[in-house]
A and B are shown apart, each in its own frame.
Chain A
Amino acid sequence: MTGAEILLECLKREGVEYIFGYPGGQVLPIFDKLYDSTLKLILTRHEQGAAHAAEGYARATGKVGVCLATSGPGATNLTTGIADAYMDSIPMVAITGQVKTFLIGNDAFQEADVTGITRPITKHNYLVKDTKDLARIIREAFFIASTGRPGPVLIDIPSDVQMQNIEFVWPEVVDIRGYKPTLFGHPGQIKKSARLISQSKKPIIYAGGGVITSGAAQELKVLAEKINAPVTMTLMGLGCFPGTHPLCLGMLGMHGTAYANHATTESDLIIAVGARFDDRVTGRIDSFAPTAKVIHIDIDPTSISKNIKVDIPIVGDAKNILGQLIEEIKKSPDTSEWLKTVDSWKKKHPLKYKSGDGKIKPQYVIEQIYDVTKGDVIVTTEVGQNQMWAAQWFTYIYPRTFISSGGLGTMGFGFPAAIGAKIGCPEKKVIDIAGDGSIQMNIQELATCVANKINVKVFILNNGYLGMVRQWQELFYKKRYSHTPIYSPDFVKLAESYGAVGIRVNKKEQVRAAIIKAFDTDNVVFVDIAVDPEENVWPMVPAGEAINRMIEGLA
């Protein structure tokens, strides 16, 4: 078999059905074999779109997302998506073509040192110098990408390695001596944690994306109900605990709910599960939960005690550890007083926005989308205000229904991610909540959608600004709106020119009907909604402030 044939055979054996990619000179041998392969390639219109689509696919399905691009510019265009997957621990295998082995280092046409460029943004990467190593490397890549703390793995394959003919040998086992993720929690640590939980009076569970990755949503719910602790989530964690549950406090941090931030600050015990105490969550470190002890469950030892001093670290898989912990807790703490206090914060500081001035409020649009779908939809977002409103005002009930660029904060993520999610979950409704700025960063993927009948719905909260930056300029830069008012095309006509459907919404009364029409339309739909141009995301913790010192923004 040729290297290209071995690659496709290995992908099939790894359970791959879809590849998101774009052809080019140094992947011609692979594309030639794809021509009559059962593997389906979704041709995006930009390699960045392919990388984000692979991420969306992985986030929606839990499987490894695969993207493919040529050498040089094809590969460098993937890098934003690779960095995004690295920050958000998304299992991805990125395959790039490379110039022929004897040309490497010669500044050949379309040559770039891709393993060098991607070293700090991949979990691991490979340059395949010999076709004999290819099958083993692909197996290792999928294993590394999908186990432990997942992440992107890049395989750079020179075109002569793709063409060389050798006998195919499928490596039955993967054994990497330097890579053995810890799966179960240390029993001693579990015992100590159980004791601490039983003694606590004001516990809070702080859950992140690791709960979703590990498939631990059910265990998390059992634990929360067993110990009667409120649950707050990171942006990446949304959906891991039902937003409809009375113990749910929604998201914490910079744009979290006031009650989640107050509860975290006042708690005496934080049970962190699959979250990494990122700066958007903690705010000012020395004021973060000053009276709380911290139990930190994470599969990645480097996440523990990186930002916050942890009292009981437990390294391992969240699902296993929560199971061990539930078993070990003999006495549930009495949290009735604590829950009363938390409820009083909920009543006193609810999420709110002002309506009634005739303008369409972006929060209202999102509430309406929830109301129409009842949460049975996969939501992707772009980055900025649209993302924060989508996090705050939509109620996520199930894991893998909220897909957003958390760590890297990549504008242009949502639309291609929605494509990947829809390919992975064709029976589900998939929507992208976008802004007029972000959507223009990967708008070319409209062609991908229409060509492949990937009927995602895009709701553009069009405020004529790069809204989140404008909000910061309003609050911290004396309203000097430097380069944030943004010109946009007519999104309705643009959608139509691609063969998609565009709907314009100018009045509040049209919002609900437009949402229903979008879902009833058997095509890709862009809904362009003229929202209040200077609406802000509240509450907000100013950068470097303690998280209980929020600006609530409204009288």
Chain B
Amino acid sequence: MRHTISVLVENKFGVLARISGLFSARGYNIASLAVNETLDPEISAMTIVVEAKDENILEQIKKQLNRLIDVITVTDFTKKEHVDRELVLVKVNYSSKDKTRLENILNKYLAKTVYHKADTAVIEVVGEQAQIKQLLEALTKFGIKELIRGGRIVMAY
């Protein structure tokens, strides 16, 4: 099962390596990772989506993260009320006769075209997991040429 963990860390060089090294050394899988500065420039927030077989492994991951000196707090959002978002860019085949059909889909999933030329459109969507999944399914019929997903970010209510 996938879990979203938010980790506040010291904003120093090498901290990302410590975190990624911990995951690789102990055989945990990172599904997605997003890192940036917080309001306090000395602290970075990392949102890590991890794959954990069971509760025990998830517990170990959290404890191991906490053990790192540069880690300030670890928050598991699995059972916490939160909002999460992901940014996705999709390049699809496009022709002018598809215009209305495509626009209907984009409106439905709050996505938009950020660029298009004769045969290609680049679509942007910011949303949550289910919404992105449905959008991507709807877009398959146009033919997806390329897909880039950013890391998930998360915030408690």
Which residues of A line the B interface, CB within 8 A? 115-116, 119-120, 123-124, 127, 144, 176-179, 300-302, 305-306
Instruction: List 22 A-B pairs, Cβ < 8 Å.
Output: A116-B17, A119-B14, A119-B21, A120-B22, A120-B25, A123-B69, A124-B69, A127-B14, A178-B10, A178-B68, A178-B69, A178-B70, A178-B72, A300-B67, A301-B63, A301-B66, A302-B63, A302-B67, A305-B56, A305-B59, A305-B60, A306-B60
Closest to A304 in B: B63
Q: Is B153 an interface residue (CB 8 A)?
A: no
The interface bits of chain B over 7-43 (1 if a CB of A lies within 8 angstroms of the residue's CB, else 0) are 0011000100110011001000000000000000000
Q: Is B75 an interface residue (CB 8 A)?
A: no
Shortest Cβ gap from B67 to chain A (Å): 6
Shortest Cβ gap from A148 to chain B (Å): 9
Residues in A neighbouring B66, C-beta threshold 8 A: 301
Shortest Cβ gap from A312 to chain B (Å): 16
**How many residues does chain B have at the interface if contact means C-beta atoms less than 8 Å apart?**
20
DSSP class of B's interface residues: helix, strand, loop or mixed? helix
Q: A302-B60, A305-B56 are in contact. Are A120 and B21 (CB under 8 A)?
A: yes
Given contacts A119-B14, A119-B21, A302-B64, 10 further A-B contacts (CB under 8 A): A115-B14, A116-B17, A120-B25, A124-B69, A127-B14, A144-B69, A176-B69, A177-B72, A178-B68, A300-B67
Bound: A523/B18 CA distance, A: 46
How many pairs of residues, A versus B, come closer than 8 Å at their CB atoms?
A: 36
**Which residues of B in the span 48-83 have a Cβ within 8 Å of any Cβ on A?**
56, 59-60, 63-64, 66-72
- Is there an interface contact between A119 and B56, defined as CB atoms closer than 8 Å? no
Residues in B neighbouring A123, C-beta threshold 8 A: 69
Which residues of B line the A interface, CB within 8 A? 9-10, 14, 17-18, 21-22, 25, 56, 59-60, 63-64, 66-72
Bound: A306/B71 CA distance, A: 20
Bound: A144/B9 CA distance, A: 17
Residues in A neighbouring B22, C-beta threshold 8 A: 120
Shortest Cβ gap from B4 to chain A (Å): 21
Bound: A116/B13 CA distance, A: 11
Residues in B neighbouring A115, C-beta threshold 8 A: 14
Residues in A neighbouring B14, C-beta threshold 8 A: 115, 119, 127
Shortest Cβ gap from B72 to chain A (Å): 5
- Is there an interface contact between B18 and A119, defined as CB atoms closer than 8 Å? yes
Shortest Cβ gap from B25 to chain A (Å): 5
Bound: A306/B22 CA distance, A: 15
Residues in A neighbouring B21, C-beta threshold 8 A: 119-120
Residues in A neighbouring B18, C-beta threshold 8 A: 119
Closest to A127 in B: B14
10 interchain residue pairs of minimum CB distance: A302-B63, A124-B69, A178-B72, A301-B63, A179-B69, A120-B25, A178-B71, A119-B21, A302-B64, A302-B67
Residues in A neighbouring B59, C-beta threshold 8 A: 305
